[in-house]
A and B are shown apart, each in its own frame.
Chain A
């Protein structure tokens, strides 16, 4: 089923005249695929391992900026630059994660938030003169392959993003189904039991932290190519909070839930603007129409309702419905 959907999405841009054959929607979808993948890496931490981190954006932005800096300033081939960025980010995650994991629970969330903010400050204030501050850092287009440049070629960016999403999906599958992945789940459910069984909880938490950071770095590097430049807003805490919303919206611990949540959130937050520019909302009084024109209003409301009344999000609701259906005869 998932494979069929992926194949359809991969073919659509090339199959004659349909909404996805237009560059605008391809760009939107490429970004959405990447956020779907990023939400999955966050789910690996939050859903599968039970680590509430508020600094995940740091590793995403690190992948993005290190790639850009290696390409622009050091003239490195873009594939090598991506590998370098993943390597650097893994090191960064091992250091920051190692320090943060000396605490747990809400304190862990706060320490990661602090590291994330520090990263945002470094990028936005341009310490060291590498990141170009608030203006964002465009990647030099001459150093990227021709088929990733220009509006005509947006379909290749779209395919690239879809490919990265599929890769991350299988990587996350492999990790969560591996024996280490089972320890992650055990840590979430009962950490004391894990240590009684003779395993070092912190070592596995750090592994989960570094793996998800490394994947986030790959997605960050891809986002750099798709959007053409790095921007400090990708390093802000807002991104991590958005990831949390995506995972809750789609439902944690199901893999496809996080991906779906990420794609939906990303598409809705860009497209709700367009919908609201239609006539329907303009005829409403500003008292109601104004807030409805803000995607965050609708998304925030949906989010509150899901947390209060439908924990488990979309995938949770799906599995509950399927469970009911399968047990109907009994």
Chain B
């Protein structure tokens, strides 16, 4: 029972990290039809910004400095996403394949740039000491970092859903996901919604990057690539354009991954892929998919 609980919480924690990567991907694809291969770069840039705050700016890690790292990671990654949208994506208006291709180029350049500056070895991101502790629930001993991932992802999930639900720009985004041409035909400026979605997606990925550095014990230019593939899988399983779908799929995949890995090491990755194929072949739009383009 204690092992079961440990695996379950770890799976949900992993799912929380997947969600941070996938939510932005899902919104960007849902609204703009752009398959964003540079999303892994947002994550990496966020992680490096967080590392800079936690080592150079505040060398003594406390709870507050870690919060600052996450915030910095989110903001820098969000601004980079905004910059990329303005400089590159906007110029290829409605050329979806080219937009996807150009993001492949951006991800190569960012990885090489960071690798050239900082090297490809993983660097340790210092955390407050209490991150290393564990809590006891019943007879299960669970490392405390899992709960941090879950809490941060839950806060961002609520924030994103609130923006989508209660603000004007959120309304435009929701309408745009369902029918973009109709929204522009009504004379509403969709461009602002594009930028918002890129900033939000970059922010979530950047925060995720800082947390993933804690989870995988290091910051490296290569971290974005491997998490991006999981991000894609979560988005496709959850349904393009649906934040709630991403959240559900992230949990499903995180938990299944952990349980499969517990029985056979390495089986988790394989099972995740099988889930993806099964979902797509039975319901090609994903669990809660709305987009049909």
Point out residues on A near B: beta carbons under 8 Å. Answer: 52, 99, 102-103, 106-107, 109-111, 113-115, 117-118, 121-122, 125, 127, 237-238, 241, 244-245, 248, 286-287, 289-297, 299-301, 303-304, 307-308, 311
Contacts of A290 in B (CB 8 A): 115-117
| Chain A, Cβ-Cβ closest to B286 | A107
Contacts of B274 in A (CB 8 A): 118
Whether B117 and A107, one on each chain, are in contact in the complex, defined by CB atoms closer than 8 angstroms, is no
Contacts of B102 in A (CB 8 A): 304, 307-308
Whether B104 and A296, one on each chain, are in contact in the complex, defined by CB atoms closer than 8 angstroms, is no
Whether A117 and B101, one on each chain, are in contact in the complex, defined by CB atoms closer than 8 angstroms, is no
Rounded to whole Å, the gap between the CB of A239 and the closest CB of chain B is: 13
Q: What are 23 pairs between A and B in contact, CB < 8 Å?
A: A99-B277, A99-B281, A107-B284, A111-B277, A114-B276, A115-B277, A118-B270, A125-B269, A125-B270, A127-B266, A245-B105, A248-B101, A286-B117, A290-B117, A295-B112, A296-B108, A300-B105, A300-B109, A303-B105, A304-B106, A307-B98, A307-B102, A308-B98
Q: Please, how many angstroms separate the alpha-carbon atoms of A241 and B104 in the complex?
A: 8
Whether B105 and A237, one on each chain, are in contact in the complex, defined by CB atoms closer than 8 angstroms, is no
Q: Which of A111, A118, A127, A307 has the most CB of B within 10 A?
A: A307
Give which listed residue, B35, B113, B233, B270, contacts A297 with CB less than 8 A.
B113
Rounded to whole Å, the gap between the CB of A119 and the closest CB of chain B is: 9
Whether A111 and B104, one on each chain, are in contact in the complex, defined by CB atoms closer than 8 angstroms, is no
Whether A121 and B101, one on each chain, are in contact in the complex, defined by CB atoms closer than 8 angstroms, is no
Q: Please, how many angstroms separate the alpha-carbon atoms of A99 and B277 in the complex?
A: 9
Rounded to whole Å, the gap between the CB of A241 and the closest CB of chain B is: 6
Q: Please, how many angstroms separate the alpha-carbon atoms of A137 and B115 in the complex?
A: 29
Q: Please, how many angstroms separate the alpha-carbon atoms of A284 and B101 in the complex?
A: 31
Whether A307 and B101, one on each chain, are in contact in the complex, defined by CB atoms closer than 8 angstroms, is yes
Whether A301 and B117, one on each chain, are in contact in the complex, defined by CB atoms closer than 8 angstroms, is no
Contacts of A114 in B (CB 8 A): 233, 273, 276-277, 280
B135 within 8 A of A: no
With A111-B277, A304-B102, A304-B105 as given contacts, are A292 and B88 in contact (CB-CB < 8 Å)? no
Whether B35 and A109, one on each chain, are in contact in the complex, defined by CB atoms closer than 8 angstroms, is yes
Q: Please, how many angstroms separate the alpha-carbon atoms of A21 and B135 in the complex?
A: 66
Q: Please, how many angstroms separate the alpha-carbon atoms of A117 and B233 in the complex?
A: 11
Contacts of A113 in B (CB 8 A): 229, 232
Contacts of A300 in B (CB 8 A): 105-109, 112
Contacts of A299 in B (CB 8 A): 108
Rounded to whole Å, the gap between the CB of B217 and the closest CB of chain A is: 19
| Chain B, Cβ-Cβ closest to A116 | B273
| Chain A, Cβ-Cβ closest to B293 | A105
Q: Please, how many angstroms separate the alpha-carbon atoms of A125 and B261 in the complex?
A: 12
B54 within 8 A of A: no
Contacts of A106 in B (CB 8 A): 29, 35, 240
| Chain B, Cβ-Cβ closest to A124 | B266
Contacts of A296 in B (CB 8 A): 108-109, 111-112, 115
Q: Please, how many angstroms separate the alpha-carbon atoms of A114 and B24 in the complex?
A: 20
B233-253 interface code vs A (CB 8 A; 1 in, 0 out): 100100010000000000000
With A52-B97, A109-B35, A244-B104 as given contacts, are A297 and B273 in contact (CB-CB < 8 Å)? no
Tell me the chain B residues, 246-270 only, with Cβ under 8 Å from chain A: 265-266, 269-270
B91 within 8 A of A: yes
| Chain A, Cβ-Cβ closest to B291 | A106
Whether B112 and A291, one on each chain, are in contact in the complex, defined by CB atoms closer than 8 angstroms, is yes
Q: Please, how many angstroms separate the alpha-carbon atoms of A114 and B281 in the complex?
A: 12
